[in-house]
Amino acid sequence: MTTMTTTMTTTTSTPLHEFGTSSVHTSIYRNGAEYTWVRSPGAAYPVPLPALSADLRALLGSVHPALRLPDVDGSMYYSADGTLPAASWLAFDEDLVRPMLQDALRQAGAALAALHALPPPGEVRRRHPGPARLASWLRGRCESPASVRLREHALARLGRSRWERLQAICADLGAAPAGSLLHGAASMALIVPVKGGGGNLLAGEDLSRGPWWLDVGWLVAELVELHQAVLAGIAPALEFSYRGLAGALLEGYGRVPDVETLGALAVLRVLTHARDYAAYIGWDDQLHLYVEIVAGLFDQRLGAEAARTIVGRPALESDG
């Protein structure tokens, strides 16, 4: 891993790429043969900066070579082997980037499996933040006028019965067995593909505890969401073989959550994305379409049909 002194010197140069929200801003710098990803918390960063103890770093440092932990000094500094997150590569020519993305997802799946094999250490006490963040919003905690507007629209469109079902699912997830150490925010934004093969998974900001299927399922649910966004006309430029990406991820992981679980997580993931967008970026009329996706998923056996389209019938053992 690159040292803090080395990573911090890269901030004097011009970043290769920058993107972000009011929650976190990411700048990517060349650092010799590697790249330094600097994730700087914004005003809406939802939790304190991670404080990884020496014992926890020692535990995680040898879990899997794809897993990258941050140095922390006001921002999070990661050493990585690539220049863009997997989410950004989706807009490139699929024939050119598909092998690279599939390999990166396969590595991320293997890294998650290695992480989940560890019992959560005592210092990691929080539950997976995704469903918890959504549950808070469902109860009425809104961080911006756009968030209030989205909640009012979503409640009116989905109705009280569906709203209560969403709250019940979040509650069930919060009470699920907490036997595994979780990444807590596995996403296409934190997977770093490498042109020569392989990939990195940036980790450490949202370490939590819970069942293995919630962590890997949250990432599969993002792939379901992306596919649904393409179908809805929200993101036509992101048309991709998401089934192939999910297959690579689950091949690397070695287990497959059941489709009913994945469907429910997809419903939550779409609405959480809409909630986060409203809170950290602001209002966009396309948020109406995200609510329509949620309503549609409810009508597809609570997302199970959409999840089955992405995961298919893999040869790996399905295990809920």
Asked if 28 and 17 touch (Cβ cutoff 8 Å), the reply is: yes
pLDDT in the model for residue 319? 59
- Kindly report the pTM of this predicted structure: 0.93
Asked if 216 and 253 touch (Cβ cutoff 8 Å), the reply is: yes
Q: Are strands 34-41 and 76-80 parallel, antiparallel or unpaired?
A: antiparallel
Instruction: Note down pLDDT in tens along the chain; length 320 residues.
Output: 333 333 444 445 899 999 999 999 999 999 998 999 999 999 888 777 878 899 999 999 889 999 999 998 889 999 999 999 999 999 999 999 999 999 999 999 999 999 999 988 999 999 999 999 999 999 999 999 999 999 999 999 999 999 999 999 999 999 999 999 999 999 999 999 999 899 999 999 999 999 999 999 999 999 999 999 999 999 999 999 999 999 999 999 999 999 999 999 999 999 999 999 999 999 999 999 999 999 999 999 999 999 999 998 544 444 54
Any domain includes 265: yes
As given in the structure block, the two tokens for residue 164 are 């209560």
Asked if 265 and 217 touch (Cβ cutoff 8 Å), the reply is: yes
Any domain includes 224: yes
Asked if 105 and 191 touch (Cβ cutoff 8 Å), the reply is: yes
pLDDT in the model for residue 3? 34
Per residue in 178-203, is it b (16+ CB within 10 Å) or e — as a string? Answer: bebbbbbbbbbbbbbbbeeebbbbbb
Residue written as tokens 């293997």? 110
Any domain includes 292: yes
**What total number of domains does the chain contain?**
1
* Domain coverage including residue 241: 83-311
Dist. CA 254–CA 249, nearest whole Å: 9
Any domain includes 166: yes
Any domain includes 20: no
Smallest Cα–Cα separation from 59: which of 10, 138, 119?
Answer: 119
Instruction: State the CB neighbour count (10 A cutoff) for residue 53.
Output: 10
pLDDT in the model for residue 48? 77
Edge-to-edge strands, sheet with 191-193:
67-68, 199-202, 191-193
Any domain includes 6: no
Q: What's 142's domain CATH number?
A: 3.90.1200.10
> Which residue type sits at 197?
G
Dist. CA 235–CA 240, nearest whole Å: 11
pLDDT in the model for residue 89? 97
Any domain includes 208: yes
pLDDT in the model for residue 5? 36
Handedness of CA 273, 72, 84, 184 (dihedral sign): negative
Dist. CA 106–CA 112, nearest whole Å: 10
Any domain includes 233: yes
